[in-house]
Structure 1
């Protein structure tokens, strides 16, 4: 029942029955493998059971934490509370948490959190991945029990209830009923603040000039009399809609580039249905990135193309660029990677969800559905930051009775896309599990590719607080390439650090350039050697691109290339971005 490549034979009736059962279970657990969770707990517990010294250490910590709580409960000491929330934990910021009995409940929760943080540290011999997963699951369980989640133990909720005479709870019940209705019926929730794509978001003027089954290509209208001679092509991640880079007019990276005199093209990926189940990762390279390069080349023939990839869009762009370098295709003038990983050995907290058991479980679910649904993928991202994205929102919406705040990025964040079964399986296995791209084992069309073959200069962005693509991991592209490479580390997270328009308060960045003959510098040493500069990194990128593309002295190109079979098809943002 197993094929030579290790994957199950899907046509065997017994295996089909097993996969159908696992797919049903996967729907019930939102794609989380119970086997993977159980294995992590078993590994952690079995090694702890054989470590009496470690057990005594944890018992001592529990007694010490209990003693600190007892002293704090007496109120006889003027010392600061013994336990403090993490810097990023804002659940206990209300002044009421400093007064009894709320302070005791808060301190008891933080004491338990402190103990579990220590308990989840791996005993000798424990798989570190399992220890990390246990720590994550323990944190998830503790977060459910946080006193901030209960109306009778949250001083802020009690204060609001007294102020409104219970109106906040009544409004919260209406919010809960609405959310249950949306979840049960599958009806999309109304966009917060009335934001609409094409009216408030993704409004930079342009035309769709090419369309195939995987993407639409948007060419943006010029805003300057003269433009740089060479175009910019943006390759977004296929897991979210492209307009993260064209949100509101004031923070649109695409609009900013156009205003600097660049001719910009952007890919808008299709939202695939079950009919796309057999579309592969290489299809996204060939019929996606390469087809876009071909189309841009027809609109602006004879010009180098400056490609920019965001998140997984940067990963597939790197694969395409390495393949082009192997095959002698020199159309790329430069490559920009925005929070994009090429090596996945330190791929951040997402790796907590990935091992053979988990990937096989997801594959069975996708085998049944034909794709990974938006809500199934979004659940993993929410779990990484459940304090903010789950529990803080629930308290605000259901206990405080507040409406969700209207932000353009929250609307985009809820506008995810599905992912074809085969493509999703391909990149989970080839990149996250096997890390083939930087280990010399990633083959395209039967031949292995290597990032070190890329000669086009690179501009790489990492963000300081990225949970999806940690900047140390993004920086690793410097270890596997030998070209000119400019690396920028900017303040913010995976999305907020990229949306760092000029004038954005509190932003800073670090920048450094490596030439081909420069020796490798590890990320922490690089950080120490490059001081922070206040402001946005966008102007740095614009100057770098201007240097690579030539002075803005050319007349803007026509929209599309009707003579080459690429007439304008419809105005931006096109039709694929509107697909639900």
Structure 2
């Protein structure tokens, strides 16, 4: 018995020592937390949410509905009150009779509520059902509003959903059974680790509450991601040009130049050997070049779209022609770089420049008449705020773009990661795609505003024409043979809008491929994974819905189908070209220097 008492005493002492250690940690972390929050810079209200005008429109529409159709409003309210009261009474009656099982639960399945306690525990089940009833009431109230135009309705729907998602009981420690259970199992250690994660994220982002989605220490560009062999063969203030080392003895005569978006870094196309599109294309026998855009600072305040076209696209095309001694090349544009590539091709058409043999567009918007989900952020309230900030700082900082795209998938990219990191105390995963997602870039302020105003808001490229480099270009000016890939669940560049833009281009030789999945996974889809399939249909005279309804589905990646298309436009085979064999100066190994620069806070 004495021995048992000694063991218990030791265990109590160990628990006390652990508690004291955690208290010391909490005190240290609290001091760091205060210091990190002190770094936070003020953000203009116009960049944190929609203007008050939108809320006034919604309130006015609701008041008008109440005046003109009071029966419907009363019906909504009575229905919500009735369901809420019935659920409350059912739960109370069960508890009063000692029944600890929750009342019948007919709420829809939701992966946020996977813990069995959400179904079996009366407290957690009551919270979940009430949350779902409230969410349903809010959605119904907004859905039935009349007197609002379609665009305002879409924005009200979106921001209402943001409020609903934010208020989920899973987002709060006291109402999250997973976090509470884990805290008990770890004697509170998970909460201390969660606080450590929170402080680290605040310090990493200068006081901004941004969750690190991936372990930043697990990756280094050039060491274990972005590792395809090659050399930087040209550099100016806008980009570095990388030429990749051949992986075959012979290559197609016509080289291939890839323009990635400058709102992210190019190595999304070269994450790892298993899913590197750059490596795969090189393995098929092509001389591959890629543009690595500069991560601009305040010194780029006056850079415009014209500069990206002249000093970026046109200069890169000329350099590839010069290095390979070829009069024509093939090009790829991804996302915003595809949009700008279409502008560049229109300009080249007007100038009589036939340097481009064919063009491929990845998830590219050129017709902005339907802006898709991201359109809720493209009204004047947000764009005016971006323009004011651009005038003040010279930049559109990465923070605002990251937030915008994250809130399009807030449960996946904000709340769930925050729960795992801050409540569960889990370390961020070593996930290359999420690491890339957090490796952000700034944009020159004037260029960003020019893009947002002229293309996104006024849709000039598909309508009146977009002003660039002293002239005006239109989609009909794009006449080279082209292939476009859209992605079925793309929430950034909706595939049907991409398709509509391709239809308006002047080329007589067009191919459109629709990949399964989204903006990234639909493109970075190597054949070896055998994961996502794709659709084809040669009749581009059809509407998007008709095109898909009549399309043929193919299992597996679209990469081989596209390569077959590219093969026919890439000339005969010639001895493989090595970086530097043309006499071009080697400025350093791939992936270069520009890709490693970090965005200014």
* TM-score in terms of structure 2 length: 0.86
Match of 1:416, SS state, is coil
Is the aligned partner of 1:506 residue 2:527? no
438-447 or 404-413: which moved more?
438-447
Is the aligned partner of 1:328 residue 2:349? no
Give how far 1:562 is off. Answer: 5.2
222-231 or 453-462: which moved more?
453-462
**In 1, Cα distance between equivalents of 2:585 and 2:363:** 33
**In 1, Cα distance between equivalents of 2:578 and 2:224:** 26
Give how far 1:50 is off. Answer: 1.3
Aligned pairs for 1:237-386 (under 5 A) are 237-386=261-410
Deviation digits for residues 50-97 of structure 1, max 9, x if unmatched? 123555424423432443445555279999733325xxx631222222
Match of 2:574, SS state, is coil
Partner of 2:496: 472
**In 1, Cα distance between equivalents of 2:418 and 2:577:** 50
* Structure 2 residue corresponding to 1:43, chosen from 52, 57, 77: 57
Give how far 1:191 is off. Answer: 4.4
* Structure 2 residue corresponding to 1:497, chosen from 522, 535, 547: 522
Match of 1:532, SS state, is strand
Partner of 2:19: none
CA 1:453–1:401: 2 relative to 1, 3 Å: same
**In 2, Cα distance between equivalents of 1:524 and 1:135:** 24
Matched pairs, number:
545
Partner of 2:411: 387
**In 1, Cα distance between equivalents of 2:491 and 2:211:** 27
Give how far 1:501 is off. Answer: 0.8
* Structure 2 residue corresponding to 1:134, chosen from 143, 156, 161: 156
Is the aligned partner of 1:84 residue 2:98? no
Match of 2:162, SS state, is helix
The structure that has the greater radius of gyration is: 2
CA contact (8 A) 1:251 1:500 kept: yes
**In 1, Cα distance between equivalents of 2:46 and 2:335:** 22
Partner of 1:429: 453
Give how far 1:151 is off. Answer: 1.9
Deviation digits for residues 82-125 of structure 1, max 9, x if unmatched? 3325xxx6312222222222222112212222222222237333
Is the aligned partner of 1:567 residue 2:585? yes
Is the aligned partner of 1:216 residue 2:236? no
Partner of 1:485: 510
CA 1:225–1:164: 2 relative to 1, 3 Å: same
CA 1:94–1:192: 2 relative to 1, 3 Å: farther
CA contact (8 A) 2:537 2:552 kept: no
Partner of 1:546: 567
Partner of 2:138: 116
Partner of 1:21: none
217-226 or 538-547: which moved more?
538-547
CA 1:342–1:237: 2 relative to 1, 3 Å: same
* Structure 2 residue corresponding to 1:556, chosen from 576, 582, 588: 576
Partner of 2:477: 453
Give how far 1:225 is off. Answer: 0.6
CA 1:411–1:301: 2 relative to 1, 3 Å: same
Give how far 1:227 is off. Answer: 0.8
CA 1:545–1:150: 2 relative to 1, 3 Å: same
What CA RMSD, in Å, does the superposition of the two structures yield over aligned residues?
2.5
**In 2, Cα distance between equivalents of 1:573 and 1:54:** 63
CA 1:54–1:244: 2 relative to 1, 3 Å: farther
* Structure 1 residue corresponding to 2:204, chosen from 173, 178, 182: 182
Match of 2:401, SS state, is helix
CA contact (8 A) 2:231 2:244 kept: yes
Deviation digits for residues 199-256 of structure 1, max 9, x if unmatched? 0111000011111000000000100011111111100111111111111111111011
* Structure 2 residue corresponding to 1:150, chosen from 167, 172, 175: 172
Partner of 1:522: 543
Deviation digits for residues 128-178 of structure 1, max 9, x if unmatched? 222222222222222232110122222222222232222221211121222
Is the aligned partner of 1:93 residue 2:114? yes
Deviation digits for residues 183-209 of structure 1, max 9, x if unmatched? 337999794351100001110000111
Deviation digits for residues 20-51 of structure 1, max 9, x if unmatched? xxxxx9942475166x4211111121122112
CA contact (8 A) 2:41 2:207 kept: no
CA contact (8 A) 2:512 2:536 kept: yes
* TM-score in terms of structure 1 length: 0.89
97-106 or 303-312: which moved more?
97-106
Structure 1, unmatched stretches of 5+, are: 1-24
